[in-house]
Amino acid sequence: MKVLMILTSHDELGDTGRKTGFWLEELAAPYYTFKDEGAEITLASPKGGRPPLDPVSNSPDFQTDHTRRFEADAEANAALAATVKLADVNEGDYDTVFYPGGHGPLWDLTEDADSVALIEAFHAAGKPFALVCHAPGVLRDVKGSDGRPLVEGRDVTGFTNSEEAGVGLTEVVPYLVEDTLKAKGGAFVNGPDWASFVVRDGLLITGQNPASSAEAAVRLIEALAERQTAG
């Protein structure tokens, strides 16, 4: 199982003067879910090299067993320090792709033509893929083979408007994930704020928030197993 994980390269939280980036739990939990199943994992980002970590995600209140394991893992940290440049990534080299969130992707991955093309390529190849928390927003400009928005008519979830309000960033982010997915025709569904909630519609798997990260990875592994059995 060859898994590609794509992280943001954006580190500025709007004009607040605060830093953002990827959310550590949303990388660490799926990373070890895949790793413990024997997966070969490649980390990539738009700029390559070390992607910015949202400092809040590594504060004591948000540390988990997964984040502590990642922090102590020399191999994982070496991979994080040297992510592959997104433009150099080829869909054909991987079985699946997983997008961790954090606020950073709202600014760069949403607009990134390489990211859009990559998701479209995975979908066209019949490969399942997953995005969690803010990352489902990067589906905004992704289209299906019919030229329509990929999320149109599909069950999808992501960071809710109420969760964004809960962290006080409604007026800071460039767009709200929930509103954007609905505007593109997605059938947005969600569970309680901050609880794990994952939805699968065909090849597309989305998770609502950081707590959904591990479950989204498990569902992706299940989808890969189904594909292998069918193939």
Active-site entry in 91, 164, 178, 215: 164
Active site residue 164: yes
Name the catalytic one among 134, 163, 178, 215.
134
Instruction: Please confirm, yes or no, whether 66 is among the known catalytic residues.
Output: no
* Candidates 133, 163, 178, 215; catalytic one: 133
173 phi and psi angles, rounded to 5 deg? -70, 150
Residues annotated catalytic, as ranges:
133-134, 164
